[in-house]
Amino acid sequence: MMTGFNLRQELEWQRTAQLASWVMSPHSGKKTPTADKLLGKGKGKQRQRKVVSIEEKRATLDELEQTLGKAVNE
């Protein structure tokens, strides 16, 4: 269900960005931003998702606790 929801959200944002691009077109001169550019999907800007194991998450949390102190969790 989450995959379907995320897909619908992505398509809705794509549609909104395309409409925004069309609305901006007559006002922006020669360089009209594309829908992908408005969404931040340009060259090299797309973030890669990294699968993080539970051990890596715990190590990061331990490191943050050491850096920030135990008062954060209290």
Q: How far is CA 52 from CA 8, 57, 62, 67, in A?
A: 25, 7, 15, 21
Reported as a single tens digit per residue, the pLDDT across 20-70 is 988 888 887 778 888 888 888 866 545 667 888 999 999 988 888 888 876
Global confidence as pTM:
0.50
Q: How many independent structural domains does the chain possess? A: 1
Residue 26: DSSP 8-state: G
Give the residue numbers spanning the domain of 25.
Answer: 2-73
